[in-house]
Amino acid sequence: MALLNKKTQKRLKSYLTNKYFISLIAVIIWVIFFDKDDLLSQRQLRNKLHQLQEEKKYYQQEIEKNKEDINELKTNPENLEKFAREKYLMKKENEEIFVIIKDSL
């Protein structure tokens, strides 16, 4: 019992002996596997693009948050003093600073 009937075998043989069909298959294989822009490279580039877009979104959010902080520091002197004391441990002339570090035990 043959796997393919005679009509299908004849059609397959005609395709396999056709030089244009063979050329098309060769070009498709070349583009998929051996070209500088093959499928694996395209997938890696798409992943890299997605990663960079996520980073861009994160940094844009950070920029917006920092702009709001800067605006708040420029408009409110009390917040400026609080920020300087907390972030840079600045103090007034007659003050002492005690930094309390909580243990996680």
Q: Which range marks the domain in which residue 83 is found?
A: 10-88
Considering its fold, how many domains does the chain have in total?
1
Q: Would you state the structure tokens that stand for residue 60, as one six-digit string?
A: 């844009």
Instruction: Give the CA angle between residues 55, 58, 61 to the nearest 5°.
Output: 150
Q: What is the pLDDT of residues 13-68, one digit of tens each?
A: 887 888 888 899 999 888 888 888 888 888 999 999 999 999 999 999 999 999 99
Non-local (6+) Cβ contacts of 15 within 8 A are 21
Is 105 within the bounds of a domain?
Answer: no
Domain membership of residue 54 (yes or no) is yes
Residue 103, in any domain of the structure: no
* 3 belongs to a structural domain: no
pTM of the model: 0.54
Q: What is the pLDDT of residues 54-103, one digit of tens each?
A: 999 999 999 999 999 889 888 888 888 888 887 877 777 888 877 788 88
Q: Binning pLDDT at 50, 70 and 90, where does residue 1 land?
A: very low
Q: What is the pLDDT of residue 53?
A: 98
- Asked, for residue 26, whether it belongs to a domain, the answer is yes
- Residue 38 inside a domain? The answer is yes
**Residue 28 forms part of a structural domain:** yes
